Structure 1
Amino acid sequence: MATIDLFSGHADLYAQYRIDYPPELYDFLLSLTGGRQQAWDCATGNGQVASVLSLYFAQVDATDISPQQLEKAVQKPNITYTVCPAEQTPFPDQSFDLITVAQALHWFDIDAFHREVRRVAKSGAVLAEWGYGNAQIDPVIDPVFYHFYEVIIGPYWDSKRKHVDQGYASIPFPFDKVVHQNFTIRRNWDLDRFLNYLRTWSSVQKYIRQHGSDPVLWMADQLKTVWGTSEREVRFPVFLRAGRV
Structure 2
Amino acid sequence: MTPHTNTFAQRSDQYALARPRYPQALFDWLSQHSSGHALAWDCATGNGQAAVDLARYYDQVMATDLSAEQVTQGLPAPNVVYSAQPAERTAFAAHSFDLVTVAQALHWFDYAAFWPEVRRVAKPGALFCAWGYAWFDCEPDVMAALVMPLRELVAPYWASNNRILWDGYRDADIAFPFEHVTPPPLAIDERWDVAQLIGYMQTWSSYKKAMLDINVASQLDALVAAAHARFQPDGPLHISMPLAIVAGRIDPH
Normalised to the residue count of structure 1, the TM-score between the two structures is 0.93
Q: Secondary structure at the match of 1:101?
A: strand
Paired residue total: 244
Task: Kindly indicate whether residue 60 of structure 2 is the aligned counterpart of residue 59 of structure 1.
Answer: yes
Closer/same/farther in 2, CA of residues 53 and 155 from structure 1, 3 Å limit? same
**For residues 63-212 of structure 1, what are the structure 2 equivalents within 5 Å?**
63-144=64-145, 145-149=147-151, 151-169=152-170, 170-211=173-214
Moved over 6 A (4+): none
The alignment's C-alpha RMSD in Å is 1.8
Larger CA deviation: 175-184 vs 103-112: 175-184
What is the percent sequence identity of the aligned residues?
39
Task: Kindly indicate whether residue 230 of structure 2 is the aligned counterpart of residue 229 of structure 1.
Answer: no
Closer/same/farther in 2, CA of residues 2 and 135 from structure 1, 3 Å limit? closer
Q: Spell out, residue by residue over 1:44-101, the C-alpha distance to the aligned partner (whole angstroms, 9 max, x if none).
A: 0000000011111111000001111111111122111110111111101001000000
Q: Is the 8 A contact 1:181 1:241 kept in 2?
A: no
Q: Secondary structure at the match of 1:163?
A: helix
- Give unmatched runs, 5+ long, in structure 2: none
The counterpart of 1:218, out of the listed 196, 214, 223, is 223
* Aligned mates of 1:27, 1:49 — CA distance in 2: 12
- Give unmatched runs, 5+ long, in structure 1: none
1:37 corresponding residue in structure 2: 38
Larger CA deviation: 151-160 vs 167-176: 167-176
* Aligned mates of 2:83, 2:214 — CA distance in 1: 34
Normalised to the residue count of structure 2, the TM-score between the two structures is 0.90
Q: Is the 8 A contact 1:199 1:216 kept in 2?
A: no
- Aligned residue type for 1:244: R
Closer/same/farther in 2, CA of residues 217 and 84 from structure 1, 3 Å limit? farther
* Aligned mates of 2:64, 2:212 — CA distance in 1: 27
Q: Secondary structure at the match of 1:228?
A: helix
* Aligned mates of 2:231, 2:74 — CA distance in 1: 35
Q: Spell out, residue by residue over 1:8-62, the C-alpha distance to the aligned partner (whole angstroms, 9 max, x if none).
A: 1121211111111001111111111020000000010000000011111111000
The counterpart of 1:242, out of the listed 239, 247, 252, is 247
- Aligned residue type for 1:200: T
State the 1:146 CA deviation: 2.3
- Aligned residue type for 2:150: F
